[in-house]
Amino acid sequence: MAKRTEIVDVLKASKVGDTITVKGWVRAFRSNRFVALNDGSSFKTLQVVIDEEKIEEAIVKRIGFHACIAATGVLVESQGAGQKVELVADSVEILGDNDLSAYPLQPKKQTMEFLREKAHFRMRTNTFSAVFRIRHGVAFAINKYFNDNGYYYMHTPIITGSDAEGAGEMFHITTFEPNKAPTTEDGSIDYSKDFFGKATNMTVSGQLQAEIGALAMGKVYTFGPTFRAENSNTSRHLAEFWMIEPEVAFADIYEDMDLAEDFSKYIIKYILENYPDDLAFLDKRIQDMEKNMKKELRRPMSLTDTLKFVIENDFARITYTEAIDILKRSKPYKKGKFEFPVDWGIDLQAEHERWLVEKHFKKPVIVRDYPKDIKAFYMRMNDDDKTVAAMDVLFPGIGEVIGGSQREERLDKLRKRMQEMNVHEDELQWYLDLRKFGGAPHAGFGLGFERIILFITGMANIRDVIPFPRTPGNAEF
- Interacting residues toward Mg ion by CB under 5 A: 403
3-state DSSP assignment of residue 148: helix
Nearest-approach distance from CB 400 to Mg ion, in angstroms: 6
Q: Which is nearer to ligand 4AD, 266 or 333 (CB)?
A: 266
Our finding on whether 400 is near ligand 4AD (CB under 6 A) is: yes
Our finding on whether 238 is near ligand 4AD (CB under 6 A) is: yes
Binding partner of residue 26 among Mg ion, ligand 4AD, none, CB cut-off 5 to 8 Å per kind? none
CB 95, CB 68: distance < 8 Å: yes
Q: What is the C-alpha separation between 5 and 13, in angstroms, rounded?
A: 10
Nearest of 122, 146, 144 to residue 271 by alpha carbon: 144
Our finding on whether 37 is near ligand 4AD (CB under 6 A) is: no
Q: Which is nearer to ligand 4AD, 245 or 369 (CB)?
A: 245
Our finding on whether 261 is near ligand 4AD (CB under 6 A) is: no
Query: How big is the chain by its Cα radius of gyration, in Å?
Result: 26
Residue whose CB is nearest to Mg ion in the complex, by number: 403
DSSP for residue 249? E
Q: Which is nearer to ligand 4AD, 162 or 405 (CB)?
A: 405
Residue burial 403-440, b: 16+ Cβ < 10 Å; e: rest: bbbbbbbeeeebbebbeeeebeeeebeebeebbeeebe
228, 363, 368, 372: which one contacts ligand 4AD (CB under 6 A)? Answer: 228
Q: What is the C-alpha separation between 101 and 82, in angstroms, rounded?
A: 32
Q: What is the C-alpha separation between 352 and 470, in angstroms, rounded?
A: 27
Q: Which is nearer to ligand 4AD, 71 or 208 (CB)?
A: 208
| Helices and strands counted in the chain (H then E) | 14, 16
Our finding on whether 377 is near ligand 4AD (CB under 6 A) is: no
Where does this chain touch ligand 4AD (CB under 6 A) — which range of 50-58, 177-185, 344-352, 446-454? 446-454
CB 111, CB 252: distance < 8 Å: no
Burial label, 346 (beta-carbon count in 10 A; 0-12, 13-18, 19+): middle
**Amino acid found at 222:** T
Q: What is the C-alpha separation between 371 and 320, in angstroms, rounded?
A: 8
The binding track of 182-221 with respect to ligand 4AD, each residue x by CB under 6 A or -, is -----------------------x-x--------------
Our finding on whether 451 is near ligand 4AD (CB under 6 A) is: yes
Q: Which is nearer to ligand 4AD, 127 or 207 (CB)?
A: 207
* Residues binding ligand 4AD: number (CB under 6 A): 23
Binding partner of residue 445 among ligand 4AD, Mg ion, none, CB cut-off 5 to 8 Å per kind? ligand 4AD
Our finding on whether 450 is near ligand 4AD (CB under 6 A) is: yes
Our finding on whether 427 is near ligand 4AD (CB under 6 A) is: no
What is the binding site for ligand 4AD (CB under 6 A)?
164-165, 205, 207, 228, 230, 237-238, 241, 243, 245, 400-405, 444-446, 448, 450-451
